[in-house]
Amino acid sequence: MDRRLLLLSGLAAAFVAPSVLAQTGGASSSTPGTSGMNRTGGQMTQADMEHMQQTMQLGMVAMESSRIALNKARNEGLKRFANFEVQEQTTLAEVLRSMMDPAATAATGQSGATMQGSMQMDASTRDMMQKLESQPAGPDFDRAYLQAQLQGHRDLLQVQERYLQSNAQNREHVNVAKMARGHIREHIALLEEMEKTMR
């Protein structure tokens, strides 16, 4: 699993670097529309906000179910995956929050408070989480967690694909979506491999 730790380091560096550059670049180094590396370089569109909100929402579910799996998973590979997922989703959420531009959220009719308030699970997701929490540790839990992660990652992949196909112009958001898409695909492949060994 050293490869997974390497991927996590790469993901964190790739996500954090644009944000650090944006913060150190200063507003004077950017003209609106010319630099996607600076948060003040342009306002976020509704598509940017929806992408962030959906990514954070699905990421929250992946992270919370993985926290449950850290205590209940019996398959060692799955347990390592859960640990990695918690770390990765925490990093991704921090990066996405750092990209929020208060002026842009006001321009699209959403405030940071509104966005935070909408980070709640729908009924089917709450039901799935309750089932995971109440299920005893063992092979049945492992299979249920794996299936939840597979579905969640497929949904997350669709969010990235939709955003990238929307002709988005915010370079920072596009880069995050492309990076996330690559990692999500790797996770799906890994989960599918684990699924074969658990049948």
Q: Is residue 179 part of a domain?
A: yes
How many domains are contained in the chain? 1
Q: Is residue 188 part of a domain?
A: yes
Tell me what pLDDT residue 113 has: 37
| pLDDT (tens digit per residue) in 90-113 | 888 888 777 765 444 444 444 333
Question: Which domain CATH number covers 185?
Answer: 1.20.1260.10
Tell me what pLDDT residue 167 has: 83
Q: Are 149 and 85 in contact (CB under 8 A)?
A: yes
Please list the alpha-helical segments (H only) found in 73-138: 76-99, 102-107, 112-117, 123-134
Tell me what pLDDT residue 119 has: 56
Q: Is residue 144 part of a domain?
A: yes
- Cα distances from 185 to residues 85, 97, 113, 120, 158, in angstroms, run 14, 23, 31, 25, 11
Per-residue pLDDT of the chain (199 residues; tens, 9 = 90+): 444 444 444 444 444 333 333 333 333 333 333 333 334 345 778 888 888 888 888 988 899 999 999 999 999 999 999 999 998 888 888 887 777 654 444 444 443 333 343 456 777 777 888 888 888 998 999 999 999 999 999 999 999 999 999 988 888 889 989 999 999 999 999 999 999 888 7
Q: Are 175 and 95 in contact (CB under 8 A)?
A: no
Query: Domain residues for 159?
Result: 2-27+37-101+108-198
| pLDDT (tens digit per residue) in 140-169 | 999 999 999 999 999 999 999 999 999 888
Tell me what pLDDT residue 164 has: 92
Q: Is residue 162 part of a domain?
A: yes
Q: Is residue 123 part of a domain?
A: yes
User: For residues 51 and 55, what is the distance between their CA atoms, to the nearest angstrom?
Assistant: 6
Q: Is residue 32 part of a domain?
A: no
